[in-house]
Structure 1
Amino acid sequence: MKEILVVGGAGYIGSHMCKYLHKNGMTPVVLDNLSYGHRQAVQWGPFYEGEMADTALLKKIFSEHRIEAVMHFAAFCYVGESMQLPLKYYQNNIAATLTLLTEMVEHNILNFIFSSTCATYGEPEQLPLLEDFPQNPINPYGRSKLMMEQILGDLDHAHNLKSVCLRYFNAAGADSEGEIGEDHDPETHLIPLVLQTALGQREKLTIFGSDYPTQDGTCIRDYIHIEDLAQAHHLSLLHLLAGGASKKYNLGNGNGYSILDVIKTAEAVTKKTIPHSYAERRPGDPAALVGSAELIIRELGWKPQFNSLESILQTAWNWHSNHPDGFKDA
């Protein structure tokens, strides 16, 4: 079984990726410091607790396992926090990642799947976003990801390190079998916040901004189911393992939903009223982000299974309603 190092494999996206790799005959080797991840979410392969900037630990992992590729899910990813703590983001998302990449080159591990983001595009001039559109990020989070994309281009040229950069839109939903789901502390992602409100764990949902230039004044985002995301990563991995060239792909559904759309759909799924109120806009939030994934569909044969907001919310509701305290209930 091919061994794949999954950095951040105890987190939301990383843990779903590990399950998907295991289902497809691969062994995920997890490295995670558990600052945001959960030990209970590591179920499908060996686990190393520690930092991706720990050179000695990386050497140990690379000597104990025949790692054929590395998947990186260990970035900090909160736009608002990045505006307040840019050094935290540059230190982890760039400096620590460079340590990981240095050890990969040292050990001749030259296949890298990188979680990038639609935040590299900044305020889009037109929608849906295509991969060759200008990248002008408006927050440190997006800038840190764009810098890493550029660095990976240099490493391909200098060291033949091949990478696939996957520009996520909004990862959402949960494992369709109900084993794992989304559990952050503190929680800042819209869909878990909406569902926690439906469960009565929050008095109401706060919507940041009601005066965006959208149909109802709230931000519009493109949501992609976590298992569809994992499928795209697996196809990207197979592409690299077969000797494929470095690539950059958008991962989205091509459909934009406003915050009020999400609330309305969640009320239909949960059969509960979701109280909400408005606050000032958050700095660094674009009005709308919607992406075209036609390139990865055409080139790698990606076939998303959860194309509706309702189906995404249903899997998330199954997890949250059965695990109201997250992994403490798992």
Structure 2
Amino acid sequence: MQRLAQFDVSRQFVTRPGQIAAQIVFGAVCAAAMIGVRAAVDLFAPVSGPFALIYPTVLLATLYGHWRAGVIAFVVTFLWAWYFVLPAQGSFLFTEASDPARVVINAIAALIVLIFAEAFRRVARSTVEEIRQSADRRLAQLAELEHRTKNNFALVASLLEIQKRRVSDTALHPMLDDAAGRVRTFADAYSSLSIEHSDGEDVDMRPYLDQLLDRIERAAVPDHVSLFREIDAVQLSRETAVAIGLYLNEAISNSLKYAFPDERPGKIGVFFQHRPEGWRLTIDDNGVGIEGEPSKGGGLGSNLLQAFSAQAGARHSAGPTLGGFRTEMNALREAVA
């Protein structure tokens, strides 16, 4: 219905003569269609309502073909009905004294339909154009906001690096490095959620997470660790996508930091599964397990993962597995019920 409301026979033509020709042809086609329907009606109800079908014909021709199509449809169908349907058939003569007034009234009524249909078409087109321009402005503002957010994160990380150089106590350097690293991962998550991922409110999760994981792999994953992924195709809201990206960044950062000490070789698997009842994000590693995971007691990393999962409307869980460690965010309805 929405596509039908925006249909315009002349929109596909670039030149003005081509558009006018398309409108005239469309009006003639509408008139021919009405004549065909009227001829079928005459088989069982001859001469009844000679001008009745003109009104919907003029309305449709004007709405989808502009006023020129409406005028063509009006002239052709009105003259045809007057000549072939209105008594006396086969002539423009009148058999009853009231016929001239009836013809004039029907002509005026059809012209009123044409005028109001054209006015409505113009207002509707103007409204759609305003909505489109407003949407374009909002998308541009969103892109600018995301760009500024990324830059602000980068600025905060740079300030932390500067502060690190000013602090003489080397024991504080790892904590400042950790804070700067987390801020940079936030910047990467927002950078990956660029405007091209979605034309509307939802985000395609497969290209979004693929791009985010590619960034992490290039920037942070050492040669002795391999990263692989299995990501289902689904669209989620932008707010949920941001939370999932931040959660994924934090979980992989924890695995890289704690699961593979002394250049221990290993693997990290990322699995994003979507089902009718919800979705699940799982990060598995085959590292040292609980021995290398300090967030069990509620550290900053664990608190961040809890916060990101709450933002996504999901439940966070983490713990050792057979030969490794698993971090999971679960938004399956059966799991959160």
Report the TM-score, using the length of structure 1 for normalisation.
Answer: 0.21
Structure 1 or 2: larger strand share?
A: 1
Q: Whose relative contact order is higher, 1 or 2, with alpha carbons under 8 Å and at least 6 apart?
A: 1
